[in-house]
Structure 1
Amino acid sequence: MIRNVVMGRLKPGADTDLLEKGLAGIVALAIPGMTGVKVGRDAGLREGNWDFTITADFADVAAYRAYDEDEEHNRLRREIFGPLSEEIARIQIEV
């Protein structure tokens, strides 16, 4: 199984309503082989944390690649997460 973890830092003054729409859009994606997805905003328990996260699990590398290349996923990246984010970090791990 492949786990994809994404963390983002928002630009100052970023539209958090738009961020919520983007996170909901990720959850709504119907990608074959995507076995689970969790999204959330930082709870503010520690200074210096990132602002939001996306964690998604995939049955295998092919399923992750399908997600990475999905049109709607890339639209969300391009139109929401890219413009709102100052910085994005991501990692894929085998679990």
Structure 2
Amino acid sequence: MIRNVVVGRVRPGTDLSLVQEALDAIVALPVEGLVDVRAGLDAGLRAGAWSFAITSDFVDAEAYRVYDAEAEHNRIRREMFDPVCEEIARVQFQF
């Protein structure tokens, strides 16, 4: 299994409803090989935290690669996340 973890920091003054819409769009994507996906805005429990996180579990590295290259996934990144994010970090690990 491969877990993909994404965290993002939004630009100051960003309407968080736009971020939630983007997160909802990611969660709604039909993805073959996706076992589980979770996404949410920061709960505000600690100062300095990132604005949102997404975790996605895939059956294997190839399933992740297909997802990463998928056209609708990349449209959501480009049109919904890029305009509101000042920084995004990603990591994939096997478990």
Q: TM-score, normalised by structure 1?
A: 0.97
Q: Which runs of 5+ in 2 are unaligned?
A: none
Structure 1 unaligned blocks of 5 or more: none
TM-score in terms of structure 2 length? 0.97
Q: Distance in 1 between matches of 2:93 and 2:33?
A: 16
Partner of 2:53: 53
The answer as to 2:3 corresponding to 1:6 is no
Sequence identity (%): 56
What residue in structure 1 maps to residue 27 of structure 2? 27
Deviation at 1:41, TM superposition (A): 0.6
Provide Cα deviations, 1:29-57, integer angstroms capped at 9, x if missing partner.
Answer: 11100000000111111000000000000
Query: Paired residue for 1:67?
Result: 67
Matched positions, count: 95
